[in-house]
Amino acid sequence: VPGGLPTEALIAQVIVAKFGDHLPFYRQAEIYARQGIQLDRATLGNWAGRACFHLKPIADQMRGHLAAAERLFMDETTAPVLDPGRGKVKKGFFWAIASDDRGHGGQGPPIVLFHYAPGRGGEHAERFLQGFGGQFLQVDAYEGYDRLTRLERPQGPWLLVHCWSHLRRRFVKLARNTKSPIAEAAVRQIATLYAVEATVRGMTPQARLAARQQYSTPIIAALKPWFEKQLSMISSGSKLAEDIRYGLAHWEGLTRFLG
């Protein structure tokens, strides 16, 4: 900071408190005031802005690593944003793009980048992923990601990989709340897939693929007709039917891990 007194350590403290601990600048200013240090929140904001400018090359380097990754994870979550003049906050969204293959024998660095957007529409995901060369995108079942499967890219459209944890938690909740034997059976069958993964975690992609094709493929082959049979025997308006339809509607993404 030209002509300024703060050390790099103090500026790091300010931006970690702001973005990591969610302490607004006015609260930080009050904390410093209790220690006899008068710092206007505009000054703290100026420091943070300058720090972000100097950190941008690091973010660009991280983005370059992510852009070269074959498989990415993406998710979004709400973020309260000050709305001056209204005396309240409005809803914004943080979008996370991550790559972490440490649990799968990967050698690349774990990386997560956050982007802010005023909304949750799929157009934001498309914008944040511009220039990325990956093929597989691990996401939840939010329909906003569907537009990525229709993009014209040199690598072809994104292939969505859906998450078994999202499906499993539905049946876990049902089994806990309703004691449904069908929900309990679904949890047990999904557990067999988890058991296969536990035996190959950290191994090479070739070893994991071989185990999935040998052990997980027969489980999946039996699970889908089992779901369809249960669906035909229960009330179509029940929560159980809704959860089974959720799984069947995303079956392609749920089973993409087999290949």
User: Mean pLDDT throughout 18-24?
Assistant: 91
User: Mean pLDDT throughout 102-122?
Assistant: 88
Q: At what angle do helices 8-19 and 41-68 cross, to 10 degrees?
A: 80
pLDDT of residue 103: 76
Return d(Cα 136, Cα 155) in angstroms, integer: 11
Task: Tell me the whole-structure pTM to 2 decimals.
Answer: 0.84
Return d(Cα 76, Cα 87) in angstroms, integer: 25
Return d(Cα 194, Cα 216) in angstroms, integer: 9
pLDDT of residue 113: 94
**pLDDT surpasses 90 at 210:** yes
248 CB-side CA count, 13 A: 16
Region of poorest pLDDT, from 87-91, 96-100, 121-125, 183-187: 87-91
User: Mean pLDDT throughout 207-220?
Assistant: 96
**DSSP per residue over 141-172, as a string?**
S-GGGGGGGG---TT-SPEEE--HHHHHHHHH
Please report, rounded to a whole number, the percentage of residues in the chain having pLDDT higher than 90.
83
The chain-wide mean pLDDT, for the chain, equals: 93
pLDDT of residue 180: 94
pLDDT of residue 181: 95
Q: Write the pLDDT tens digit of every residue in 60-103.
A: 999 999 999 989 999 999 988 888 888 888 999 999 999 998 87
Among the listed residues 62, 47, 53, 36, the one whose alpha carbon sits nearest the alpha carbon of residue 13: 47
194 confidence band (pLDDT: 50, 70, 90): very high
